[in-house]
Amino acid sequence: MTTLRWLVFGIAAFAMNFPILVTLSTSFKSARELSTNPGLWVQAPTLDNYLAVFQVTDRLNIFLYLFNSLSVALIGTVLAVALALPAAYAIARGRLGERTLLPFIVNLRAVPLIIFAIPLYMMFQWLALLDTRLGLGLILSIVNLPLALVILVNAIRDLPGELDEAALMDGASRTQILFRVIAPVCRPAIVTSLIFGFITAWNEFLFGLMLTTSKAVPITVGASFFFAASGGGVQWGVASAVMVVGALPPVLLGLIMYRQISGSMTAGAVKG
């Protein structure tokens, strides 16, 4: 039985990670090997593709794409948490907007984002925010808002009310309580929403595609530029290397996040 379980695990892990494995293997193939060996195994591994990726040309600049992704993900994440934390406190403790604001923002997570993309495009044109990192970051913070809010509301609700009351007795205002008492205690939840937000924002594609053209292109969109055949067709090795580089930051962060999840798994098991 255990053997069967391992077999199933192996097949599932292989199938689900198959595109990643293929891309990784292709990124180490030379141009010559690519034309003769489409298989998974690399016969003569080479780093040429990675060297080629980091060669900046007029048309393709991976450093710019990576920098753009980093900046928009940071703006989108930090802003989302900065907006969500006070609101979460007002919702959890003041019971403000529990039946209006909270469901509305939470529903945003489930709505097709394209609904807002077109008017935002036109609005950004008026505000000269098209193709800017700030503009894309602002929108990504909307994408991140629902999740950050839910995480923080739940975290604050789990805190004992005595915490607030004691500070109130000492004459602290709610705002002071939020930043001096609640925020420090909620640090794990804040970090979690930052990490999830960063990964979501880094991986976002639709708004990057619509709202940027050259200066603020994020890596998810930039990677597709490498697939636009120029002259000699798609350079598959180089394109693969781009995808590996573009996928690496969220994957690494995800492994950190994974630990947090297993931590909350055990916590949940205790509670359950």
Partner 1 sequence: MMTGGGLSAAGHVDIRHGHATWAPGAANPAGLAMFKTCQMQIGSMTKAQQRPLVQEFRLLATPVVVFLLVFLGFPAIVNLIYSVSEVSFETLRQPELSGFKNFAAVWSDGAFWQASWFSFRFGLLTAVLECALGLFLAIFLSPLIERRSWLMAILMLPLMVAPALVGLMYRLVLHEFVGPVPYYLWTYFGASLSFLGPGSAFWTLVVVETLQWTPFALLLFYMAYQAIPSEIAEASAMDGARSHHRLWYIELPLMLPTIVVALLIRFIDGFRVFDNVYVLTGSGPGGSTASLSIYIYEAFFKQGAIGKAVAASVILFVVSFAVLYGLNFIASRRKGANR
Distances (CA, A) of 196 to 71, 171, 173, 183, 255: 16, 36, 31, 18, 12
User: Segment near partner 1 (CB under 8 A), from 47-55, 57-65, 117-125?
Assistant: 117-125
**H-type alpha helices, 101-235:** 101-108, 114-127, 133-157, 162-169, 174-176, 183-185, 187-203, 206-211, 219-225
DSSP per-residue letters across 217-246: --HHHHHHHTTS--SS---HHHHHHHHHHH
Distances (CA, A) of 29 to 33, 39, 207: 6, 10, 33
Of the residues 26, 49, 61, 212, which one makes contact with partner 1 according to CB under 8 A: 26
- Under the binding rule (CB under 8 A), the answer on residue 109 touching partner 1 is yes
Residue placing its CB nearer to partner 1 in the complex, 51 or 267 = 267
Residues 188-247 binding partner 1 (CB under 8 A) are 192-193, 196, 199-200, 202-206, 209-210, 220-221, 223-224, 227, 236, 239-240, 243, 246-247
Q: In the complex, what is the shortest distance from the CB of residue 230 to partner 1, in angstroms, rounded to a whole number?
A: 16
The alpha carbon of residue 115 and the mean position of all alpha carbons in its chain are separated, in whole angstroms, by: 21
Contact flags string 40-79 toward partner 1, x per CB under 8 A: x---------------------------------------
- Under the binding rule (CB under 8 A), the answer on residue 253 touching partner 1 is yes
Q: In the complex, what is the shortest distance from the CB of residue 58 to partner 1, in angstroms, rounded to a whole number?
A: 22
d(CA 1, CA 236): 41
Q: In the complex, what is the shortest distance from the CB of residue 101 to partner 1, in angstroms, rounded to a whole number?
A: 7
User: Segment near partner 1 (CB under 8 A), from 43-51, 54-62, 142-150?
Assistant: 142-150
